Amino acid sequence: MGRGGRVLLLAFVLFLTSHLTTPASAATKSCLLVLSDLTSWPALIAGVTNQYKQLYLFKEISAIGLQIDDSLFPALEQLPGVLAVIPDRLHKVQTTHSWEFLGLESGGEPKNEWKYDAKFGEGVVIGNVDTGVSPTSESFRDDGFGAPSGWCGKCDSGKDSTFRCNKKLIGARFFNAGVQVPDFLDQPVEGKQLNQTDLNSPRDYDGHGSHTLSTAGGGFVQGAGAFGRGSGTAKGGSPRARVASYKACYTAGCSSLDILAAIFAAVEDGVHVLSLSVGAPAADYAADLMAIGTLYAVHKGVAVVASAGNSGPQPGSVTNLAPWILTVGASTMDRDFAADAVFGNSTVKGRSLSASTLPAGQPYPMISGQDASAADQSIDNSTLCLPGSLDPAKVRGKIVVCTRGANGRVEKGLVVKQASGVGMVLCNGAGGAVDIIADPHLVPAAHCSYSQCEDLLKYLQSTEFPVGYITARDELGVKPAPVMADFSSRGPNTITPQILKPDVTAPGVDVIAAYSEEVPATDLPFDDRRVPYNMVSGTSMSCPHVAGIAGLIKAKHPDWSPAMIKSAIMTTASTGGNDDGQIRDETGAAATPFSYGSGHVNPVRALDPGLVYDTTPYDYANFLCSVRPTQTQSLIPLSIPLLLPLFVGANANPFRCSLGAYRPEDLNYPSISAACLSRSGTTTVKRRVRNVGAGPWLQYNVTVVQPAAGVRITVQPGTLSFGKINEEKEFTVKLEICDATAAAGYVFGSIEWSDGKHRVRSPVVATTKCG
């Protein structure tokens, strides 16, 4: 390891030891014990208790995963040589058209940048930490693949004798020690308990892992679709990449210790890109094992992409906040799964994933749930189409209009089907939820808004024999797009607001990709349908889109660092929609960088970004020093116990955390965020860019988009000249308060460097608010 790497990880040791506190409770739990010396740890712990279980040995960071009574955590912290005690916690797991929407193909044909420049990601290995993989999926066929070179991983089938890897799916492993700790076993999710078959196999018994891995690196599969809708050629962003699955997520969730073990295994195996569609809120990087593990991965040259979370649109809800992670929000595509209810001389427009099996244009009798109540049921129940509330004699052969609420949307269709109805119109209620969802209903259906349904309900009430029919179709070119998903978690960054999160947004709504046929198509107990491809929404779906793009960049630029890959994706992202307006949020208002970060990914431009912001181990080390609450140790000699054994025996100059010499906002990051600005002064942040474009002599000029009010942005110098490839130049961005009242809230601007061909854009976020 070079001195820069040793410095980075050394700084993280100090960061850990100065940040962590132990929770006060008493239960059998799991934790990560970071030690100065692994050789004598059993004797060390024996001084406190003999009642413990070793879960993992993490030589990479000189640590062990323990199952132990957490009332003993304070005693462990006092033992000599113990650097940190970090409690384990549960994380949650957060297509056929998306790549055309992203500009990699046109009319179903791949563009040259995808096919020839990036070679569809050939030569790259994408790892995925998730719920496992379905090895029989067509997306993971190895047609045309030779034996992999340089791969150190394995295919661990566990107790699953039928599980097989191949030359496309070259690795599969599973990690389950953490999730089986009693404290987690006592936390069933939606009534489900951990299943031993699931626990002891790399196979996907959820569907989530197969979906995300195929989105990132699945091969070409013609005729793929979901429930007969969205048919086309399914493929991942890097369809010629090889893939590896690291199962660390189960019904109860994902233990952070299991995730950490999976990350270290992926790095050791030789992945180039790691996709993590998992996350949980964190108050501190030092208490976040994903942050620790991904820092190690990035230091070893692995690009890490993670989901922003599904807790939007609440401000400050974004997760995976560490600056070495590429954090992805979710937005829509220009495709819609439309379904209309036609009656009288009117049509109400809705959405549904179910294909209508009713004869086209043939009218059927219609009835509202309100008028179809069974003898022993209230009108309130039948209006909602609750189980057992509909009278089959009234419903048989009819399309039933149900109101949303109380029970599940798809379950309402089951109620209609059980009462012998032939279709359903699902209406939002007055004052209730406003979104309309394309669900895989069990009967032909259309989910419509309350305002659309008002005309339908009036028709039912005013007509003696109401009739109608349901049509379904796929629509492309829908405007506006992209639109931020309401569930996509929002900034600001609650740990370090000087780092803008999320970093980018990507397609995460109604994404069709591979699924596991080991489980039903939906998470509903009454659904017995099995599908090879399914439509799912979430930042879990947007994350692997960006992982696939990272694979393309790695294939074209194999010597680029993770930070350079991340910069290329961020600085080439777009903030515009396909209607020539700005990206909107779920309300129709203009979205902000707290929703989309640097913008919506543009993979074609990311393959040739012109300039990149590279972030070195020294940059990250200084960043970690700058966010420490106290400066209890300003000099860290490399001979002290270290976070990683890679430090051991290193003879280099000590690294100094200098008080006040470095600020979090000075991290060489592709976006700029400054908080706690002086209400009457100026703040200057530093950046440097590296020329990765062609040509012996290039000149970039800057354009500044000023915030609407509050802060004025000045960039010096205004021109950067490069005489050779990989040359770096520095510049400063001055933020001057011109209206303290306006700057008390967050204000947004941007800077953009351009040589006439490349556009290298960075959002700027500023506020006088602290924290």
Contact 275, 305 (CB under 8 A): yes
Beta bridge pairs of residue 342: 347, 469
Q: What does the DSSP assignment read for 113-171?
A: IIIIISGGGTT-EEEEEES-B-TT-GGG--TT----SS----B--TT-TT----SSEEE
- Which residues are CB-neighbours of 638 under 8 A, at least 6 positions away? 6, 10, 647, 650, 651, 652, 654, 655
Q: Of 540, 626, 750, 762, which one is the catalytic site residue?
A: 540
Beta bridge pairs of residue 713: 735
Bridging pattern class, strands 52-58 and 511-514: unpaired
Scan for tokens 């939906």, then name that residue: 522
Contact 500, 327 (CB under 8 A): no
Contact 711, 736 (CB under 8 A): yes
Cα dihedral across residues 666, 672, 677, 683: positive or negative: positive
Tally of CB atoms within 10 A around 394: 18
Closest-CA residue to 648 (of 41, 60, 17): 60
First to last CA, the chain: 36
Check residue 383 and give left, alpha or beta (phi > 0: left; psi -120 to 50: alpha).
alpha
Q: Of 208, 272, 441, 545, which one is the catalytic site residue?
A: 208
Q: What is the distance between the alpha carbons of residues 672 and 685, in angstroms, rounded to a whole number?
A: 8
Residues for the chain: how many in total?
A: 771
Q: Of 70, 88, 130, 619, which one is the catalytic site residue?
A: 130
Contact 296, 267 (CB under 8 A): yes
Contacts of range 517-520, beta carbons closer than 8 Å, 24 or more positions apart = 517/134, 517/136, 518/134, 518/203, 518/204, 518/205, 519/205, 519/206, 519/207
Known catalytic residue at 376: no
Contact 89, 45 (CB under 8 A): no
Instruction: Show the 3-state SS of 574-608.
Output: ECECCCCCECECCCCCECCHHHHCCCECCHHHHCC
Structure tokens at 224: 């793929």
CA 173 → CA 31, 155, 158, 160, 749, distances in Å?
22, 6, 8, 12, 45
State the number of CA atoms in the 13 A half-sphere of 377 facing the CB.
20
CA 608 → CA 17, 423, 664, 754, distances in Å?
41, 50, 28, 13
- φ, ψ of residue 651 in degrees (nearest 5): -115, 100
Q: What is the distance between the alpha carbons of residues 148 and 170, in angstroms, rounded to a whole number?
A: 8
Tally of CB atoms within 10 A around 630: 8
Q: What is the distance between the alpha carbons of residues 565 and 547, in angstroms, rounded to a whole number?
A: 10
Known catalytic residue at 626: no
Closest-CA residue to 568 (of 609, 536, 604): 609
Known catalytic residue at 540: yes
Structure tokens at 152: 């150190």
Q: Residue 473 carries which side chain, given as an amino acid letter?
A: R
Instruction: Supply the angle between the helices 539-556 and 208-217 in degrees, to the nearest 10.
Output: 30
Task: Give the rounded distance of the alpha carbon of 159 from its chain centre.
Answer: 30
State the number of CA atoms in the 13 A half-sphere of 430 facing the CB.
3
Scan for tokens 């790691």, then name that residue: 274
Indicate which residues carry an active-site annotation: 130, 208, 540
